Amino acid sequence: MTNIDDEALTFSPHDFRRIFVTDAIMNGLIPHIAQVICGHKSIDTTIGYRAAYPAESIEAHRAFIARRRSARPSEEYRIPTEEEWDAFLAHFEKRKVSIGTCARAFGAPCIHEHAGVRCSLLRPDPAQRTRLAEIRDNLIARIAEAETEGWLGEVEGLQVSLAGAEEKLRRLDRGHGQHTVVGLGVPTTRGDR
């Protein structure tokens, strides 16, 4: 074999390991399996063996989508009707509530019957923190009134709402409504420990 300058190419046995890993992963072998075959302690070593080409990455993604679509019913990939599209858009409008957004999935009803601060799916809007604090203070006053009047059933329900309001305020104060990224690390095998 020669290169583009017509110079002879030389290979070492180790070059064939790299060629094997690249070819195997390109043809669907999971990198963690290639790691075990090669005896690498770190997946990073195995990934370093594998040559990657931009066009190949795009084609691999297209092949993945094609495999996924072939395994799913074809009616899932049709163009939605006007009514379906309108219902989809309306879902997002209905998710908006006074103190934030309900994160329930499309087509799913509100499991807490729009109970506001009680709902674990409510994502509070940082701009509504003052309103949420007012709701909490109102709940505290209503609990005091219910206790004075002996409305024990009312006290119990209001305490659930108060706990929800306080949790939403803590969430806002902790991260100002932002999601926290958590590093999960790289999976390891027993030989890596």
0.75 exceeded by pTM: no
What is the 3-class SS of the chain, one letter each residue?
CECCCCCECCCCHHHHHHHHHHHHHHCCCCHHHHHHHHCCCCHHHHHHHCCCCHHHHHHHHHHHHHHHHHHCCHHHHCCCCHHHHHHHHHHHHHCEECCEEECCCCCCCCCCCCCHHHCCCEEECHHHHHHHHHHHHHHHHHHHHHHHHCCHHHHHHHHHHHHHHHHHHHHHHHHCCCCCCCCCCCCCCHHHC
pLDDT, tens only, 103-151: 777 777 766 555 678 887 888 889 999 999 999 999 999 999 999 999 9
pLDDT, tens only, 42-62: 888 887 776 666 676 677 778
